[in-house]
Homo-oligomer: A and B are copies of this chain.
Amino acid sequence: MPFNFITIIEILGTFSFAVSGAFAAMEKELDPLGVLIISFVTAIGGGTIRDLLLGNTPVTWLTDNTTAWVIAISAVAAVFFGSTLKKFDKLLFLTDAIGLGLFTMIGIQKCLQHGLSTGICIALGTITACFGGVLRDVLLNKVPLIFQKEIYASACIAGGLLFFIMRKWQLAENPDYIAGIITVFVIRLLAVRFNWSLPIFYLRKKP
């Protein structure tokens, strides 16, 4: 794996996903090994589900030691320097949002290699980016956060759509992926800044 720009984003994204998993596990008072496991699941869960569905086995992180090391270091950092890390919560949020965009596009890229349809590519891109968090919440016995709060998966879908529109209209040659990542990133930022969420117009009225 050449240590280029994408690699740096990927490492930062993995780091912030793993740290978010570790913090959620520490809040539930899991033991240090439990924290490590939840970190792992949060960081590699989405990509693993995608690889299993596509039949890309052994799944990526089994053979790529970088990922495993980044996650292990993230979990240790969260356990020992949690309060320090929390001071950088805005930075973590930014790397998380970049990671969200990058993982969406990695997922879409892998689906394109399998010749899948546009809709399925976007769905699997979104799964890649979001289902680590879904598994984290299931393991911690909570209703997955992304089903309830803020624009999260929707940002991935929007980024994926833009990517395919640009691709179809040949609006750009190679930078489509970058455009997708930036779209996810910006929408996620705006969503949190302005507290956007999808309307739940079918709520049962309570007396």
Contacts and interface: CB of A to CB of B under 8 A. Distances in A.
Given A141-B141, A141-B142, A154-B33, A38 B119 contact: no
Interface stretch (A58-66, A93-101, A169-177, A187-195): A58-66
A29 B63 contact: no
A138 B204 CA distance: 22
Given A120-B68, A142-B141, A31 B202 contact: no
Interface stretch (A5-13, A48-56, A160-168, A178-186): A48-56
A25 interface: yes
Shortest Cβ-Cβ A-B pairs, 8 listed: A55-B57, A34-B147, A31-B198, A30-B147, A141-B143, A54-B58, A53-B59, A32-B198
Nearest to A141: B143
Interface string A2-46: 000000000000000000000001111111111001100000000
Interface in A98-137: 114, 116-117, 119-120, 123-124, 134
20 contacts: A25-B147, A30-B147, A30-B148, A31-B197, A31-B199, A32-B199, A33-B153, A33-B198, A37-B153, A52-B57, A53-B57, A53-B58, A53-B59, A55-B57, A58-B116, A62-B124, A68-B119, A68-B123, A138-B141, A140-B143
A144 to B, nearest CB: 6
Given A30-B147, A34-B148, A140-B143, 18 more contacts: A26-B202, A29-B148, A29-B203, A30-B143, A31-B147, A31-B200, A33-B147, A33-B157, A52-B52, A55-B58, A62-B114, A62-B116, A68-B120, A68-B123, A139-B144, A139-B147, A141-B141, A141-B143
